[in-house]
Amino acid sequence: MKLVLKTALILIFHAVFCASQSSPSITCSYYAWQSANTTTYECALTISNPNGFDNFTRINGDHQPGFSDQNVTEIPFANGLTINIPQIICRQFANLKIIILDRIGITFVDNNSFRGCGHVERLNLNNNEISSVSVGAFWRNEKLKSLDLSENSIQILPENIFDNLSDLEVLNLSFNDFETIPNKTFKELDSLLDLRLAGVGMSRINPAWFENLGDLRYLYLYSNEISELSEDSFEDLDDLTLLNLSINPINGNFPPKIFEKLSKLTYLQLDQTGITNLNPKWFEKLDNLEQLFLKSNNISNLPDKIFDDLKSLRTLDISNNSLTVPRIASSTFDNLKTLQYLDLSYNSLTNLNPQWFINLQNLTTLLLTSNRISELPFGVFRPITRLMQLFLGNNNLKSINRNDFGNLSSLAHVYVQGNQIISADKRFFDDARALSFLNFLNNLCASENFIFFYLNRESNMQRLSRCLENSRFFVDTQTNFTINYTFFDAFHPGLHAQILSSRAAHITLSNAHTPRIEIIIGAQNNTRTIIQNSQGSIYADVSTPNILDLSQWRTFRVTWVNDVVLVFREDEKFPFIAQTIDRPFMIDYYGLKSPLSHTSWRVRPINIQRHN
């Protein structure tokens, strides 16, 4: 049985192969499409002509009733193989308007290929193997509006090839192997709007090409070998709205005034162009720029005012660079009031500066994926009142806190997969009423991906119950002029406390909801730190002038391993005050108060571990 099948296949293959070898053929399947007020009559072409004969006398196929060759206006696609374009096509179908002959192995286009097609408006020859095009190939096709020669192997582009194409609006020459593009190649293309020259191995831009292209709107030059740009490169293109220069070895050497004449530009793509430092001059005249892409460069700093002239910017993508927190000025994004989309993914951010987002009221999408962010500063997303999508995947986050967000009514997509989240505040979920997509995969307290979170709130919260339960160890609170302690569950071996206060922040460690050991940071008008017992007998007392600050969070660590209380500043290795507990007890609770000041606290367990 198997053998028979195999033989049959060989026979079929043989038959097809020999047929294509011995009898070249061109056939149409005809279709008529009725739309509102017009009928389109088209030929789906099948061609078998591997030797490139051009002596065909007729294209085979049966017309639909009432139609003839004159009615054919489109070749929407072609199947098969041919190395040439037999002139019979344009002779038999003189009224063709659309010709699509992609991916059929064409190797050359000559003066006769389209001679008869005086009405053609759109011609696609992309993804063939064309290596030569005669200078007069398109001279008779004066109605052409769109010509696609992309993804071929054209090396020589004759200077006069586009003569007579004064109606041409779209010209796609991308991904060819041009040796040179002569100065006057595009001189007759008065109507050209869209010119694509990506991936053509070009090493420099010749301003002479663009001299007559005053109407050009779209220019694609990505994936070339451009290493040098002159100031006048684009000076004739004052209508340009899109410029794509990505993936060129420019090494960031854009002359300061390179984009000066492009005041209508709305879209500028400069990915992978070796930029290390942005120059504010580049953007000075780009009042209308809406989208700026700076992906995959080596940008390590964003100075103050760098984007201040971009008054219309809606999308800013600086992903995959080398940005660090201290090297992005606090006011970098201050003038971007129209910004809707900000991508800072794949950088080296270990933290976020809450000042960055202060003026981004219109931001809806913020991407911070794949940085090394371990903690969100208090209230960081509060100014972004319209936030809809937040991407925080692949960072080192440990908790989700309600207080980091303002109004959560718009938030619909949250991506926090691949962090070390051990705790999540229930109030976050209660308030994020629109939450739809929540990717929580690969975290410590849960690994779940939720779609349409709001549909099954109860059971989804159940699946996050361990995270919600753990949030009691993550305390964000204020103790403004409180005389009595508020108690929280303590977690061995200690706690991290961020404190915003002018003086006297009290922490007590206890086995019950009553104070035992008290630590007073910034006692005596913010000059000393004291450890005392609940009766007020002082055990330790050190000078710590200005240890607290009302305008800046100060970070401390308090540990109680082996009945020794140690208090550290920030990440310091040695404690600045220490005390052995003389009558040891189990520390199950800690309390916070600040009888003499407004004090805000963010308390976290040290050494967070998975716990039930």
Ligand X SMILES: *[C@@H]1O[C@H](CO)[C@@H](O)[C@H](O)[C@H]1NC(C)=O
> Residue 213 corresponds to which tokens in the numbers above?
């292209």
From the CB of 142, what's the least distance to ligand X, in Å? 6
Nearer to ligand X, 223 or 579 (CB): 223
Rounded CA separation 178/153 (Å): 8
Rounded CA separation 79/97 (Å): 19
36 is a contact residue toward ligand X (CB under 6 A): yes
517: Cβ contacts below 8 Å, ≥ 6 apart: 508, 509, 510, 531, 532, 533, 534, 565, 579, 581
Rounded CA separation 577/567 (Å): 6
Q: In 3-state terms, what secondary structure has residue 490?
A: coil
Nearer to ligand X, 105 or 207 (CB): 207
204 is a contact residue toward ligand X (CB under 6 A): no
Rounded CA separation 306/589 (Å): 49
- The pairing of strands 494-501 and 599-605 is antiparallel
Whose tokens are 């100060």? That residue is 554
> Residue 109 corresponds to which tokens in the numbers above?
């286009």
Instruction: Count residues binding ligand X (CB under 6 A).
Output: 50
319 is a contact residue toward ligand X (CB under 6 A): no
> Residue 9 corresponds to which tokens in the numbers above?
């296949």
Contact 485, 506 (CB under 8 A): yes
**Residues β-bridged to residue 80:** 47
131 is a contact residue toward ligand X (CB under 6 A): no
From the CB of 117, what's the least distance to ligand X, in Å? 12
Nearer to ligand X, 169 or 450 (CB): 169
SS3 for 130-180 is CCEECCCCCCCCCCCCEEECCCCCCCECCCCCCCCCCCCCEEECCCCCCCE
Q: 156-181 burial, b if ≥16 CB within 10 A, otherwise e?
A: ebeeebbbbbebbbbbbbbbbebeeb
Nearer to ligand X, 37 or 612 (CB): 37
Task: Select the residue interacting with ligand X from 164, 324, 350, 436 (CB under 6 A).
Answer: 164
Task: Select the residue interacting with ligand X from 20, 25, 134, 353 (CB under 6 A).
Answer: 134
Binding to ligand X (CB under 6 A) within 89-128 occurs at 110-111, 126
160 is a contact residue toward ligand X (CB under 6 A): yes
Nearer to ligand X, 71 or 436 (CB): 71
From the CB of 578, what's the least distance to ligand X, in Å? 26
Task: Select the residue interacting with ligand X from 84, 223, 319, 532 (CB under 6 A).
Answer: 223
Contact 577, 531 (CB under 8 A): yes
Nearer to ligand X, 162 or 453 (CB): 162
Nearer to ligand X, 462 or 484 (CB): 484
Q: Which residue is nearest to ligand X (CB)?
A: 172
Nearer to ligand X, 246 or 423 (CB): 246
**Residues β-bridged to residue 366:** 342, 390
From the CB of 66, what's the least distance to ligand X, in Å? 4
Nearer to ligand X, 303 or 379 (CB): 379
Rounded CA separation 180/90 (Å): 31
536: Cβ contacts below 8 Å, ≥ 6 apart: none
395 is a contact residue toward ligand X (CB under 6 A): no
From the CB of 166, what's the least distance to ligand X, in Å? 10
37 is a contact residue toward ligand X (CB under 6 A): yes
139 is a contact residue toward ligand X (CB under 6 A): yes
148 is a contact residue toward ligand X (CB under 6 A): yes
Task: Select the residue interacting with ligand X from 298, 385, 478, 486 (CB under 6 A).
Answer: 478
598 is a contact residue toward ligand X (CB under 6 A): yes
Nearer to ligand X, 419 or 600 (CB): 600
From the CB of 510, what's the least distance to ligand X, in Å? 14
Task: Select the residue interacting with ligand X from 83, 135, 325, 358 (CB under 6 A).
Answer: 135
Nearer to ligand X, 338 or 348 (CB): 338
Integer CA distances (angstroms), 512 to 180, 485, 488, 509, 551, in order? 84, 12, 10, 9, 33
33 is a contact residue toward ligand X (CB under 6 A): no
H helix or E strand, kind and range, residue 508: strand 505-510
Query: Would the CA dihedral through 401, 407, 409, 415 be positive or negative?
Result: negative
Rounded CA separation 111/115 (Å): 7
Whose tokens are 């009142």? That residue is 385
Rounded CA separation 138/121 (Å): 11
The radius of gyration of the chain's CA atoms, rounded to the nearest angstrom, is: 35
141 is a contact residue toward ligand X (CB under 6 A): no
206 is a contact residue toward ligand X (CB under 6 A): yes
Tell me the window of 35-43, 256-264, 275-283, 425-433 that interacts with ligand X (CB under 6 A): 35-43
Integer CA distances (angstroms), 345 to 52, 92, 371, 412, in order? 52, 56, 6, 19
Here's the x/- map for ligand X, 52-91, by CB under 6 A: it reads as: -x-xxx--------xxx-xx--------------------
39 is a contact residue toward ligand X (CB under 6 A): yes
From the CB of 267, what's the least distance to ligand X, in Å? 7
Task: Select the residue interacting with ligand X from 159, 167, 194, 541 (CB under 6 A).
Answer: 194
Nearer to ligand X, 152 or 460 (CB): 152
Tell me the window of 72-80, 162-170, 375-383, 562-570 that interacts with ligand X (CB under 6 A): 162-170
**Which residues here bind ligand X, judged by CB under 6 A?**
36-37, 39, 53, 55-57, 66-68, 70-71, 110-111, 126, 134-136, 139-140, 148, 150-151, 160, 163-164, 170, 172, 183, 194, 196, 206-208, 222-223, 244, 246-247, 269, 271, 337-338, 362, 478, 480, 483-484, 525, 598
